[in-house]
Amino acid sequence: MVYSAKINGEPTTFGTSGMLYQSNKLMYDRTTNSIWNQFTGEPVVGPLADSGIKLDFFPSVLTTWEEWLAEHPDTTVLDVDTGVYSPTVYAHEWEPHAIYFDYFSSPRTMFPVFNRDEALLPKETVIGVGINGDYKAYPVSAFADEPVINDVVGGQEIVIAGSSTWGTGRVYERGGRTFAEEGDGLRDSDGALWAISEDALTRADGAETLARIPTITSFWHGWFSFHPDTARYESS
């Protein structure tokens, strides 16, 4: 998940507090030292708690370097040579000496999670959508049979362009259309082709765009912990 680093329009920086809630990391801002829930983008302890402030939330995608580089060949990359720690500290998660190797290799959570639901495995990856106070989780595994999902959440028509291979899903407004997969893009119910980008769906003739909707890619236990009233997508 990606948030703005501005609080009431003023830039700040954030750090990790070392604390967890519902097995989810809590961060702090270096201006007020308030503790923030990274899952909701809201301050929960400290001077800003109960202030009603919520960090602006940006669309992001969890994918592979291979796919990202193919789609964005001019991308910049965060250098692991930070000058703080040796680059060898930042091991790939699948390497046995990586800090979280055991965690990602096990079906168990590291710390207690009290709000649980057995509909999915605790660490099944879902894409969580929240619109107008309604929440719905889409298992990434569903994209194997349905790479494009047309749905409605919170009264908003949405379309998800997904890939179970890359564990990727991008969610967009769909403006009353029904979409289907077409090559690297989508085709709508009127036959028009649309290109997929990080910001929007764009019709091939450039006449119209449909905005992307920010989402959270999470383990099922994390999404359910904070949204226990969530709906869950089930493949047809």
For residue 103, the model assigns a pLDDT of: 81
Report residue 111's pLDDT band, with 50, 70 and 90 as the boundaries: confident
Distance of CA 159 to the CA centre of its chain: 15
- Interatomic CA distance for residues 228 and 215, integer angstroms: 17
90 or 154, higher pLDDT: 154
The phi and psi torsions of 195 (rounded to 5 degrees) equal -95, 140
pLDDT tens-digit map of 96-110: 878 778 888 888 887
Same domain, 96 and 44: no
Q: What is the dihedral of CA 214, 219, 220, 222, to 10 degrees?
A: -80
Same domain, 105 and 117: yes
Same domain, 64 and 52: no
Last residue of a domain, one of 36, 56, 76: 56
Same domain, 29 and 139: no
- Interatomic CA distance for residues 172 and 167, integer angstroms: 17
- Interatomic CA distance for residues 208 and 82, integer angstroms: 41
CB atoms within 10 A of CB 28: 20
Same domain, 128 and 200: yes
- Interatomic CA distance for residues 122 and 222, integer angstroms: 8
Same domain, 22 and 124: no
- Residue whose token pair is 């077409």: 182
- Interatomic CA distance for residues 176 and 211, integer angstroms: 13
pLDDT tens-digit map of 184-234: 899 999 999 999 999 999 999 999 999 999 999 999 999 999 999 999 999
Same domain, 24 and 116: no
Indicate the number of domains in the chain. 2
Last residue of a domain, one of 56, 73, 88: 56
Same domain, 171 and 122: yes
pLDDT tens-digit map of 10-34: 999 999 999 988 888 999 999 999 9
- Name the residue type at position 187: R
Same domain, 234 and 145: yes
- Interatomic CA distance for residues 193 and 120, integer angstroms: 35
Residues β-bridged to residue 27: 16, 36
Sign for the pseudo-dihedral over CA of 197, 58, 60, 116: negative
- Interatomic CA distance for residues 185 and 131, integer angstroms: 24
Q: Which two tokens stand for residue 123?
A: 């660490």
Where in the sequence is the domain holding 217, given as residue range(s)? 59-236
Q: Considering the entire predicted model, what is its pTM?
A: 0.89
What integer is the mean pLDDT of 114-125? 88
Q: Return the closest-CA partner of residue 231 out of 131, 144, 100, 90.
A: 131
pLDDT tens-digit map of 136-175: 999 999 999 999 999 999 999 999 999 877 778 999 999 9
For residue 80, the model assigns a pLDDT of: 82
Taking the CA of residue 53 as centre, how many other CA atoms within 13 Å lie in the half-sphere pointing to its CB? 22
Quickly list H helices, the chain.
65-71, 101-105, 220-226
CB atoms within 10 A of CB 225: 20
For residue 97, the model assigns a pLDDT of: 79
Same domain, 113 and 173: yes
Same domain, 158 and 46: no
The phi and psi torsions of 144 (rounded to 5 degrees) equal -60, -40
Same domain, 14 and 103: no
- CA distance readout (Å), 22 to 34, 109, 193, 203: 18, 10, 43, 42
Last residue of a domain, one of 10, 33, 56: 56
